């Protein structure tokens, strides 16, 4: 996945701190909405800097796409799958509706807990890796 970023700080010949604007599905037409509260929010990350970009420069960065897709699946898909499994499996076993609801909520919370645990593990091991590929 490629994104536009700004080099914030030069660390050494091979690394820099970059600021990557956070994207969302809304299109950020904030003059029309201003409801999400994320306008101007950026994520700072350490990036490999093989081209020697300096602070203030706009650059194109690539992120580790497979790792990013795992994160997206874990955060969005797993809680929904656990919720549906918690609801549908008891329904197939003809359990009461209250048990279905309880297991659906428990499944959703288990999916969220799994996502939080994975996030902590990912942060401990360096997070998503970025590489500066060229100046913008």
Tens-place pLDDT, residues 11-46 = 888 899 998 887 665 655 555 565 555 555 778 888
The full DSSP string for 28-52 is: --TTT---SS-TT-EEEEEEE-TT-
Domain that holds residue 94: 2-135
Tens-place pLDDT, residues 75-132 = 889 999 999 999 999 999 999 999 999 999 999 999 999 988 988 887 777 677 888 9
- Specify the number of domains making up the chain: 1
Neighbour count for residue 19 (Cβ, 10 Å): 13
Does the predicted TM-score (pTM) go above 0.85? no
DSSP 85: H
Which residue is listed with tokens 């909520």? 105
């Amino acid at each position: 996945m490629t994104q536009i970023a700004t080099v914030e700080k030069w660390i050494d010949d091979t690394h820099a701190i970059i600021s990557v604007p956070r994207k969302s599905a809304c299109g950020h037409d904030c003059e029309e909405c201003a409801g999400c509260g994320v306008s101007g929010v950026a994520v700072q990350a350490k990036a490999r800097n093989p081209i020697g970009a300096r602070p203030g420069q706009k650059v194109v960065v690539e992120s580790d796409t497979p790792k990013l897709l795992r994160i997206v699946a874990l955060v969005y898909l797993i809680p929904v799958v656990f919720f549906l499994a918690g609801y549908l499996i008891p329904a197939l076993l003809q359990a009461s509706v209250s048990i279905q609801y309880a297991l659906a909520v428990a499944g959703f919370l288990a999916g969220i807990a799994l996502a939080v645990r994975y996030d902590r593990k990912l942060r401990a091991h360096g997070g998503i890796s970025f590489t500066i590929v060229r100046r913008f």
